[in-house]
Structure 1
Amino acid sequence: MLPTFTQFASTLGGFAPLLLSGIWVTLQLALLSLLLGLIFGLLGAGAKLSKVRGWRLCAQLYTTLIRGVPDLLLMLLIFYGVQTGLSRLTHELGWAYIEIDPFTAGVLTLGFIYGAYFTETFRGALLAVPRGQFQAAKALGMSFSQGFVHVIFPQMMRFALPGLGNNWMVLLKATALVSIIGLADLVKVAQVAGKSSQQLLAFLLLAALIYLLLSSASNAALGWLTRRYGASQQESSR
């Protein structure tokens, strides 16, 4: 049975600092995972489009593995698998025990997982850029890195933004998975507050509302970026 609004409001005041810390942890986790995922995505896209067969095979194996295994299972495998391997390594070398904290594990795991999805997004965006742009940058005397940063990347982002936006929305919600390994994110603190106050359903509904607000704000920001990139590309083509 849900409490009345007055009852829940009085209870919420005592747990407000805990909930705010959970929201902050969730945002940090999502943004750092996004940054790492973008790096993995760019590297993966470059490997998939490489002329070296070995790089293409590695990138194909990476994306196939990630898209074929559930995110929750990957989270548990990476967290416990890496920790077990690291413990054995430190034991063999006689080093002090090293423990991976849940936040670091969450960032590494989510970045690694969603890097596979960003790989496909960037690969498609790179293929959408006309080949003449690569040749034009080379003709202007630019190095490969200069041509990519100043010519290719801005055009690629126009094609990549819709896909990146969709993946970001999924990534933001996927941060809730990290609560399974003990990280005090929004979901975890909502569970703690709900169980402590015996108002679990009310706090879970509040957490769902907060995720909805974060997603709505992200959607508005992505829409603004899409319009801005589109306008800048139109101005540069005139």
Structure 2
Amino acid sequence: MFLQGYLPSILDGAMLTLKLAGASLVVSVVLGLIGAGFKLAHSKPLQWLAELYSTLIRGVPDLVWMFILFFGGQMLINDIATKMGWPAPDIDPMLAGVLTIGVIFGAYMTETFRGAIMAVPKGQMEAGAAYGMSPLRVFFRITVPQMIRFALPSFSNNWLVLVKSTALVSVIGLNDMMYKADTAKSVTQQPFTVYVVVGAIYLAITTVSILVLNALERRYSTGVRESEL
């Protein structure tokens, strides 16, 4: 039997990996939009806060942040619980993985969205305001559609790296694909075969992602290409 029956277990881990990646993407996008808003704000403290966030996160390896946020977060919660007289709770590895990866890639998304917003011509937003559109309407009708077009190339790269970075959560005990693969490797004594299967699954996920994201890029660039011809 192939991998002594551990293939279904690895595939179950792959589904958890996809859920982890999707949830982490949502967190990173939210943080990225907030960070971009802070960097483009007129308030210096907000700009400094966003700059500090993106600099710290991007300057330290992801694995180090995984350990710092997971174990440091657990210690902080334990200290708070002790002071309040509560029993110390255990951090759920899934929640920890989502928040950690989300926080890490939120820094990269911050730069992606900041650059995309700055690429939108200011004249178009001023024209929308001149026609009587509210700032919120200008943002959603003029800024966002063009921001998406400018952000997609960098966003695509961030998503692909995020998917691969989910392999790091196995170090905090989450039963993802890499965790299941490590178990299968130990039992089957076939490390090469196990990790080739895992690599193939990651490749399949990233290939499908590239096809979808390329289709989105073509869709949001259609009008621009037609105007250039």
Please classify the TM superposition score into its range, dividing by the shorter chain length: over 0.9
Separation in 1 of the partners of 2:62 and 2:201?
Answer: 22
Structure 2 letter corresponding to 1:81:
G
**TM-score, structure 2 normalization:** 0.94
Instruction: State whether residues 48 and 60 of structure 1, in contact with CA within 8 Å, keep that contact through their aligned partners in structure 2.
Output: yes
Question: Which of 42, 45, 56 is matched with 2:36 structurally?
Answer: 45
Instruction: State whether residues 20 and 94 of structure 2, in contact with CA within 8 Å, keep that contact through their aligned partners in structure 1.
Output: yes
Separation in 2 of the partners of 1:13 and 1:199?
Answer: 10
Kindly state the Cα deviation for residue 193 of structure 1 after the two structures are TM-superposed: 1.0
Question: Which of 167, 180, 184 is matched with 1:189 structurally?
Answer: 180
Separation in 2 of the partners of 1:162 and 1:234?
Answer: 16
1:35-69 CA distance string (max 9 Å, x none): 11011111101100110000000000001101110
Separation in 1 of the partners of 2:57 and 2:203?
Answer: 26
1:187-221 CA distance string (max 9 Å, x none): 11111112111212210111011111111111111
Question: Which of 117, 133, 136 is matched with 2:124 structurally?
Answer: 133
Runs of 4+ residues over 3 Å off in structure 1: 232-237
Separation in 1 of the partners of 2:72 and 2:137?
Answer: 40
Separation in 2 of the partners of 1:119 and 1:236?
Answer: 30
Instruction: State whether residues 42 and 119 of structure 1, in contact with CA within 8 Å, keep that contact through their aligned partners in structure 2.
Output: yes
| Equivalent residue number for residue 80 of structure 1 | 71
Separation in 2 of the partners of 1:146 and 1:165?
Answer: 27
Kindly state the Cα deviation for residue 170 of structure 1 after the two structures are TM-superposed: 0.5
Kindly state the Cα deviation for residue 138 of structure 1 after the two structures are TM-superposed: 2.1
Structure 2 letter corresponding to 1:72:
L
1:4-153 map, 5 Å: 10-12=1-3, 14-153=5-144
Question: Which of 175, 178, 183 is matched with 2:169 structurally?
Answer: 178
- Runs of 5+ consecutive residues of structure 2 not aligned to the other structure: none
For these two proteins, the number of residue pairs brought into alignment is: 229
- The change in CA–CA distance for 1:154 and 1:13 in structure 2 (over 3 A counts) is farther
Separation in 1 of the partners of 2:195 and 2:174?
Answer: 16
Compute the RMSD of aligned alpha carbons: 1.8
Question: Which of 141, 155, 166 is matched with 1:164 structurally?
Answer: 155
- Runs of 5+ consecutive residues of structure 1 not aligned to the other structure: 1-9
Which is further off, 137-146 or 53-62?
Answer: 137-146
Separation in 2 of the partners of 1:11 and 1:44?
Answer: 47
Question: Which of 211, 214, 217 is matched with 1:220 structurally?
Answer: 211
Structure 1 letter corresponding to 2:53:
Y
Q: Match of 2:218, SS?
A: helix
- The change in CA–CA distance for 1:177 and 1:150 in structure 2 (over 3 A counts) is same
Instruction: State whether residues 11 and 197 of structure 1, in contact with CA within 8 Å, keep that contact through their aligned partners in structure 2.
Output: no
Separation in 1 of the partners of 2:132 and 2:184?
Answer: 61
Instruction: State whether residues 36 and 110 of structure 2, in contact with CA within 8 Å, keep that contact through their aligned partners in structure 1.
Output: yes
Instruction: State whether residues 41 and 115 of structure 1, in contact with CA within 8 Å, keep that contact through their aligned partners in structure 2.
Output: yes
**TM-score, structure 1 normalization:** 0.91
Kindly state the Cα deviation for residue 235 of structure 1 after the two structures are TM-superposed: 7.0
Using the aligned pairs only, state the percent identity.
Answer: 46
1:158-192 CA distance string (max 9 Å, x none): 00000000111111100001111111111111111
